[in-house]
Chains A and B, each alone.
Chain A
């Protein structure tokens, strides 16, 4: 029997689950040829990532829009990462906000467990969330400008899990 704790320590927006490579990863199917380790087997019984944590993560990500905090949340392999951040820095209105109008459906796309040492593992989950958002800023001529959009966001949730005793 083991004990575990789950904590989201970081949230990223990105694509691949583990590799930073720009093509797909091979997620091995457990087979008796290379049987699951005790750790992997037990981890399979962990409950899924909580939806609350996923939604909180998305809120943090979107709240960081148009601020320097976004740099820390955007995955290193996010395509055109620097250009997005540069464009954000030169956005015409620093007071512009991104409002979440509705968080929609959520789906866990994939999970992978990485052994850290005998007692620790890291579980990385890739999650897809749809959200309806609105960019708002005051234009001196047009008044309040609203740019509504519905987008799919990919979040990477990294959990450190410790097995016990």
Chain B
């Protein structure tokens, strides 16, 4: 570890430079925002340093480069201006200053990685969109689909707009190159035009792409030019059937000394628009000649294929799918390879009568047969992959996986694994643990391998702090061959502070030992700091949004407005005085919780309890809990929750932030506890935040809770409720 600290001063100097830079950004950004309020500015800067260490047998190290600190600083700048709703200008810049071969390979220093200028204007005779710099060129799967550096212009004429017809004309030019350093248009230059027309019946397009790779020693021995033409359409047919097709013609050269070649690429697909429940099907056929090789396309040349997929989705959410696939690779050669596949999959939650909670199942199985014309290849593969997940307890899930694959004359493999996911609370800490164990046995030709592995992952979250750790051990026995043991360990700490900053520290290590032989030890220490600067074109939110008049709120009463009087940070004695003034003198004491049976929301019939949580004589949190006994009446529950929300909005105004996910249904108890349904609303208050929501609870009870506290965990933490209150 000594080496870790040897070059630390260099890192510190870098850190100071970046700190100074960010201070300038911070102050300068404020000034720019004030001068040009219509500009939105987003800047994100990450300074990261990694230290790599390798000892022992370096040949078997997971890392390539040896001991030293490797630092880089990434900047992502986005500037945007809306002159009016139809006129947008945007600049994106992504650059890195790097001293790390992992980050930028052989290049060092400052490297601009992505530059994009974007202009869109719709309030002119001919609406247009221009992109310059890095952009994604996409006409179709069979013509071009790749990142280019260059210019793309799109025109959208207003012809036949009143008849519901839209059209678009695109011209692009650009080179496909990984970096702006040493950029030259002569390396891999593409030009293309595309016309697309959309009507209520379907969409139709014509595309033309020309590509040129110039002669360059060590890269291309000759000058290669090629052109691809295509017509494609997507047609809506009666019965919610969708027909897609494309015919593409290729003419030109490609590397491997192929000149003046021509060939076709054909595609056809028919599918029904899948409804929520019921049958769905898809038929697909493709044919590509051996010389169909457009530079920017995705498809595989010299292949013919045909597929049929049939699926059914049950009312309970279980989904099944069957497939039949036929591929003929190298079909224009003397020895084509034919592959036939039949597969079946099933996924979803099933609930057998004896199980109180649903079992999640995911099954995928297929049979594959391959053979070639000359008889040199003839094998069959069987595969089965089964995943099951079952909640053993309220806070404990069991996961299992079984995998079997067998290819005749080649390999046979089995693997079984078991894992547990446990989550719990300890005071204000949220803890997750996941132990797992797996066994694997495989035979590949004459080599046999048997491996055991076990691992343990954990995570602890405390307010803005997150700790994460994992460790795993694997022993692998090989016949013939040497036995290998590997041990991995990983520790990470992450902290968010003052909204704009994130600090992270990570340690990753691995020990690899060969039984009776060499061993390799590697580790990596990483430290990084991310700074976010954001200037919105909207004015910042008010700290407190109160719809009712302050004097009305100031009037002490048993109403939802009581929260304004019982704020975090108030001395508990004063809080007790507030309650005494309201005629509530004897709370029930449970630990540091003072519990009152009160009715703050008159219109809500459910039991309501107000809890004051004391911490060293000071009120840390005020909580109101609504209990729901009859979980079967989801309509009543939902109506009651809406009334609580509306009452809060009447008093505190619109929430400053909220998260709504999933729909409330009959299964709302399970949905809330599984995280499918989330409801959280927050109001910024003078002394903290008010949060209303339905937290997930380990005892599966459904409660609506309102908390007034200085800070809350992020929305992703679902069990934010008061677990200690039964």
In angstroms, Cα B86 to Cα A31, docked, is 6
Interface residues of A in 4-24 (CB under 8 A from B): 5, 7, 9, 15-16, 19, 21-24
A104 within 8 Å of B (CB atoms): yes
- Assess whether A89 is in contact with B364, with CB atoms less than 8 Å apart: yes
- Assess whether B140 is in contact with A23, with CB atoms less than 8 Å apart: yes
Q: Using A9-B661, A34-B161 as known contacts, list a sample of 12 further A-B pairs with CB atoms less than 8 Å apart, ordered by residue number in A.
A: A15-B138, A21-B203, A23-B196, A24-B140, A26-B167, A26-B196, A44-B85, A89-B385, A107-B114, A130-B113, A143-B484, A162-B660
A109 within 8 Å of B (CB atoms): yes
User: With A15-B145, A95-B474 known to touch, is A30 a contact of B383 (CB < 8 Å)?
Assistant: no
In angstroms, Cα B116 to Cα A133, docked, is 25
* CB proximity of A43 to chain B, nearest CB, Å: 11
* CB proximity of B145 to chain A, nearest CB, Å: 6
In angstroms, Cα B85 to Cα A45, docked, is 10
Q: Kindly identify which residue among A28, A109, A141 contacts B136, using a CB–CB cutoff of 8 Å.
A: A109
- Assess whether B366 is in contact with A141, with CB atoms less than 8 Å apart: no
Please give, as numbers and ranges, the residues of chain B lying within 8 Å of A105 by CB-CB distance.
94, 96, 113-114
Produce 1/0 per residue, B466-501, CB < 8 A to A: 000000001010111110101000000000000000
Produce 1/0 per residue, A33-61, CB < 8 A to B: 11110000100110110011000000000
**Can you name 9 A-B residue pairings with CB atoms under 8 Å?**
A22-B244, A26-B167, A27-B129, A44-B82, A68-B401, A95-B453, A130-B113, A143-B59, A164-B654
* CB proximity of A129 to chain B, nearest CB, Å: 10
* CB proximity of B649 to chain A, nearest CB, Å: 8
- Assess whether A28 is in contact with B415, with CB atoms less than 8 Å apart: no
* CB proximity of B720 to chain A, nearest CB, Å: 16
A134 within 8 Å of B (CB atoms): yes
In angstroms, Cα B176 to Cα A152, docked, is 12
- Assess whether A3 is in contact with B86, with CB atoms less than 8 Å apart: no
| Interface range for A | 35 or more
In angstroms, Cα B94 to Cα A150, docked, is 18
User: With A109-B135, A141-B481 known to touch, is A32 a contact of B123 (CB < 8 Å)?
Assistant: yes
Top 10 nearest A-B pairs (CB, nearest first) are A140-B481, A140-B478, A23-B140, A105-B113, A31-B122, A29-B127, A144-B60, A22-B141, A29-B122, A109-B136
Closest residue on chain A to residue B234 by CB atoms: A21
Q: Kindly identify which residue among A28, A94, A143 contacts B166, using a CB–CB cutoff of 8 Å.
A: A28
In angstroms, Cα B78 to Cα A149, docked, is 29
Produce 1/0 per residue, A90-110, CB < 8 A to B: 101111000101101111111
- Assess whether A23 is in contact with B246, with CB atoms less than 8 Å apart: yes
* CB proximity of A147 to chain B, nearest CB, Å: 12
Please give, as numbers and ranges, the residues of chain A lying within 8 Å of B407 by CB-CB distance.
90
In angstroms, Cα B128 to Cα A146, docked, is 47
In angstroms, Cα B319 to Cα A71, docked, is 14
B440 within 8 Å of A (CB atoms): yes
Interface residues of A in 69-117 (CB under 8 A from B): 71, 79-80, 82-83, 85-86, 89-90, 92-95, 99, 101-102, 104-110
* CB proximity of A19 to chain B, nearest CB, Å: 8
Please give, as numbers and ranges, the residues of chain B lying within 8 Å of A141 by CB-CB distance.
447, 481
Q: Which of A26, A28, A32, A150 has the most CB of B within 10 A?
A: A26
- Assess whether B440 is in contact with A164, with CB atoms less than 8 Å apart: no
- Assess whether B658 is in contact with A23, with CB atoms less than 8 Å apart: no
Produce 1/0 per residue, B548-577, CB < 8 A to A: 000000000000000000000000000000
In angstroms, Cα B403 to Cα A92, docked, is 13
Please give, as numbers and ranges, the residues of chain B lying within 8 Å of A160 by CB-CB distance.
661
Please give, as numbers and ranges, the residues of chain A lying within 8 Å of B40 by CB-CB distance.
45, 47
- Assess whether B166 is in contact with A89, with CB atoms less than 8 Å apart: no
User: With A33-B158, A48-B42, A92-B444 known to touch, is A79 a contact of B656 (CB < 8 Å)?
Assistant: no
Please give, as numbers and ranges, the residues of chain A lying within 8 Å of B122 by CB-CB distance.
29-32
User: With A24-B205, A44-B85, A47-B536 known to touch, is A31 a contact of B123 (CB < 8 Å)?
Assistant: yes
Please give, as numbers and ranges, the residues of chain A lying within 8 Å of B25 by CB-CB distance.
none
Q: Which of A105, A126, A148 has the most CB of B within 10 A?
A: A105
Q: Kindly identify which residue among A16, A92, A152 contacts B147, using a CB–CB cutoff of 8 Å.
A: A152
* CB proximity of B47 to chain A, nearest CB, Å: 15
B168 within 8 Å of A (CB atoms): yes
In angstroms, Cα B723 to Cα A114, docked, is 39
User: With A21-B203, A29-B156 known to touch, is A106 a contact of B76 (CB < 8 Å)?
Assistant: yes
Tell me if B's interface is mostly helix, strand, loop or mixed. Answer: strand
In angstroms, Cα B444 to Cα A68, docked, is 21
B272 within 8 Å of A (CB atoms): no
Q: Kindly identify which residue among A23, A45, A109 contacts B205, using a CB–CB cutoff of 8 Å.
A: A23
Please give, as numbers and ranges, the residues of chain B lying within 8 Å of A47 by CB-CB distance.
40, 42, 534, 536
In angstroms, Cα B118 to Cα A108, docked, is 12
- Assess whether A21 is in contact with B244, with CB atoms less than 8 Å apart: yes
Q: Kindly identify which residue among A9, A15, A102, A165 contacts B103, using a CB–CB cutoff of 8 Å.
A: A102
Closest residue on chain B to residue A35 by CB atoms: B85
Please give, as numbers and ranges, the residues of chain B lying within 8 Å of A24 by CB-CB distance.
138-140, 170, 194, 196, 205
Produce 1/0 per residue, B146-167, CB < 8 A to A: 0100000010101001000011
In angstroms, Cα B362 to Cα A32, docked, is 50
- Assess whether A94 is in contact with B415, with CB atoms less than 8 Å apart: yes
In angstroms, Cα B95 to Cα A107, docked, is 11
* CB proximity of A57 to chain B, nearest CB, Å: 14
* CB proximity of B45 to chain A, nearest CB, Å: 11
Q: Kindly identify which residue among A41, A107, A132 contacts B94, using a CB–CB cutoff of 8 Å.
A: A107
Please give, as numbers and ranges, the residues of chain B lying within 8 Å of A150 by CB-CB distance.
105, 178
- Assess whether A107 is in contact with B120, with CB atoms less than 8 Å apart: no
Q: Kindly identify which residue among B62, B105, B512, B649 contacts A134, using a CB–CB cutoff of 8 Å.
A: B62
Closest residue on chain B to residue A22 by CB atoms: B141
B603 within 8 Å of A (CB atoms): no
- Assess whether B88 is in contact with A23, with CB atoms less than 8 Å apart: no
- Assess whether A82 is in contact with B60, with CB atoms less than 8 Å apart: no
Q: Kindly identify which residue among B113, B383, B413, B660 contacts A104, using a CB–CB cutoff of 8 Å.
A: B113
Closest residue on chain A to residue B62 by CB atoms: A136
- Assess whether B60 is in contact with A94, with CB atoms less than 8 Å apart: no
User: With A26-B203, A89-B383 known to touch, is A45 a contact of B538 (CB < 8 Å)?
Assistant: yes
Q: Kindly identify which residue among B121, B123, B368, B479 contacts A86, using a CB–CB cutoff of 8 Å.
A: B368
Please give, as numbers and ranges, the residues of chain B lying within 8 Å of A41 by CB-CB distance.
85
Please give, as numbers and ranges, the residues of chain A lying within 8 Å of B507 by CB-CB distance.
none
* CB proximity of A71 to chain B, nearest CB, Å: 7
B92 within 8 Å of A (CB atoms): yes
B24 within 8 Å of A (CB atoms): no
Closest residue on chain B to residue A139 by CB atoms: B481
B300 within 8 Å of A (CB atoms): yes
A128 within 8 Å of B (CB atoms): yes
Produce 1/0 per residue, B98-129, CB < 8 A to A: 00101101000000011010001111000111
Q: Which of A9, A93, A110, A160 has the most CB of B within 10 A?
A: A93
Q: Kindly identify which residue among A29, A36, A93 contacts B129, using a CB–CB cutoff of 8 Å.
A: A29
* CB proximity of A86 to chain B, nearest CB, Å: 6
B323 within 8 Å of A (CB atoms): yes
Q: Kindly identify which residue among A22, A31, A45 contacts B232, using a CB–CB cutoff of 8 Å.
A: A22
B432 within 8 Å of A (CB atoms): no
Produce 1/0 per residue, B427-463, CB < 8 A to A: 0000000000000101010010101010000000000
